[in-house]
Structure 1
Amino acid sequence: MIKLITFTTSGHAYLNFMGNEFGHPNRVEFPMSSNNYSFMFANRQWELLMDKGIHSNLFNFDMDMMSLDENERILSRSSPSVHHCNDSTMVISYTRGSFLFVFNFHPETSCESYRVGVEEAGDYQIILNTDDTRYGGHGELESHKHLWRTNKKRADGYQNSLEVALPRRSAQVYKLMRILRI
């Protein structure tokens, strides 16, 4: 979740450190005088990805997050507009172009129907979900089956809103798939 919020709220670039893409357990150290110019720690431990555990889950998420930008050009869109930040529910929501980002940082509380405001009325589809089992999540949302339609209830200063499910400690990226003109 921290990677996603850092990635999508940044300007036009994202810096990832060597080994960070799959939670490298040891240091990655380049040869220098302090280690007698050893190459011992100057490599990634790719074998960690063979076990279907946390390292492969983080790697899958990192790949899909980078693909999101490659396919949708998230970083080249307008700057993010944070419009919902609730300290008690630990939910943050913002838009960037036609994309809605919703983060539930609460460690225990999931929400079946949480209202966030959106500027554009229409149908929204989840295109990235950190709760997916592929990323080590609980799989409470089946992303490919859900299409959310806005309603005319005001929220967060917008005329339209979405009622979304928010599993605990998860983030979802929604894409506006169809604009509704009334």
Structure 2
Amino acid sequence: MGAPDLWIKTLKEKRDEDWDLGELAHTLNSHRPEEKVISYAESHDQALVGDKTLIFRLIDKAMYWHMDKADPDLMVERGIALHKLIRLLTAGLHGGGYLNFMGNEFGHPEWIDFPRQGNNWSFKHARRQWSLRDNGFLKYQWLGEFDAGLMKLIQTVDNPSIHYLTIRQHDHVVSFMRGDLLFIMNFSPDQSWTDYGVPAAAGSYGVILDSDDKQFGGQNRIDNSTRYFTSPQENGHQLQVYLPTRTGIVLQKID
């Protein structure tokens, strides 16, 4: 099963607390080291009429009524948080490249339907509405800003190897290193972790991407000016961080 199908299956069949992070990480990373593969969370198939994009599966009809930034809504908040985590994990474990279908990165609310006899040759849905992301009043901007930050970060990953891959299903936490970047994600719907230790290369680190950042629609629960230092453990070194619920961070090794 490919990654997009597995993400859909997970959203359709499992509660948030039952997501199998081991299966997800294995699927996203299941290729030989010498092979380059393109990773993606969803493709054009989910955007075509008759199917649902990830954001629509997460938020459903609430996205038509509660996407104003001034309108707090728990379903939308959950959907946006998981939408960012899904993309962060998929892109972070990419095997050579990351693919996104236009508009899906900011949660475009409508499907694509090209002119055909069945829709009376209509052009109504043969488009992407970039204005939803750019008008400054809607939550689509948060997803667009996060994607821009993620793409900027992913372009700096030049090391194909993944190290320190750690999956703690009970805690709903996944962490790994790509080069000098440390990815940490907490998928728990109700548990934040204080001083949470994850394996890492010895040194000091600083946060360079935080899905909980206010500019991405987060709650700003992490102090991104903090410098983190590893401590020696019996089997290596670990870094202790604060991990709020449904939050992903990427730290860069400073020295």
Q: Same fold (TM over 0.5)?
A: yes
Amino acid at match of 1:113: D
Q: Percent identity?
A: 36
TM superposition shift of 1:35:
3.0
Q: Secondary structure at the match of 2:96?
A: coil
Specify the alignment match of 1:103 in structure 2. Answer: 185
Specify the alignment match of 2:119 in structure 1. Answer: 35
Match of 1:133 among 205, 208, 214: 214
Specify the alignment match of 1:62 in structure 2. Answer: 147
Q: Secondary structure at the match of 2:132?
A: helix
Specify the alignment match of 1:162 in structure 2. Answer: 239
Residue 14 in 1 paired to residue 14 in 2?
A: no
TM superposition shift of 1:37:
3.6
Q: CA RMSD in A?
A: 1.6
TM superposition shift of 1:168:
0.7
Greater helix share, structure number: 2
Query: Could you tell me whether the CA contact under 8 Å between 2:96 and 2:160 is conserved in 1?
Result: no
Q: Deviations over 1:77-133 (max 9, x none)?
A: 223235211111100111111111000000111112100111x21111111000101
Per the normalisation by structure 1, the TM-score is: 0.87
**Aligned-partner Cα distance in 2 for 1:48–1:112:** 36
The 3 A distance-change label for structure 1 pair 42 and 82 is farther
**Aligned-partner Cα distance in 1 for 2:186–2:230:** 20
Specify the alignment match of 1:150 in structure 2. Answer: 230
* Total equivalences in the alignment: 170
The 3 A distance-change label for structure 1 pair 32 and 18 is farther
Greater strand share, structure number: 1
Structure number with higher relative contact order (C-alpha < 8 Å, ≥ 6 residues apart):
1
**Aligned-partner Cα distance in 2 for 1:61–1:10:** 17
TM superposition shift of 1:30:
2.9
Q: Deviations over 1:42-67 (max 9, x none)?
A: 21112212143320110000111111
**Aligned-partner Cα distance in 2 for 1:65–1:77:** 16
TM superposition shift of 1:27:
0.6
Between stretches 83-92 and 23-32, larger displacement belongs to 23-32
**Aligned-partner Cα distance in 1 for 2:113–2:148:** 23
Amino acid at match of 1:64: G
Per the normalisation by structure 2, the TM-score is: 0.63
Segments of structure 2 that go 5 or more residues without pairing to the other structure are: 1-84
**Aligned-partner Cα distance in 1 for 2:195–2:213:** 18
Residue 172 in 1 paired to residue 172 in 2?
A: no
**Aligned-partner Cα distance in 1 for 2:162–2:112:** 33
TM superposition shift of 1:5:
0.5
Segments of structure 1 that go 5 or more residues without pairing to the other structure are: none
Query: Could you tell me whether the CA contact under 8 Å between 1:23 and 1:58 is conserved in 2?
Result: yes
The 3 A distance-change label for structure 1 pair 122 and 82 is closer
Between stretches 26-35 and 101-110, larger displacement belongs to 26-35
TM superposition shift of 1:7:
0.7
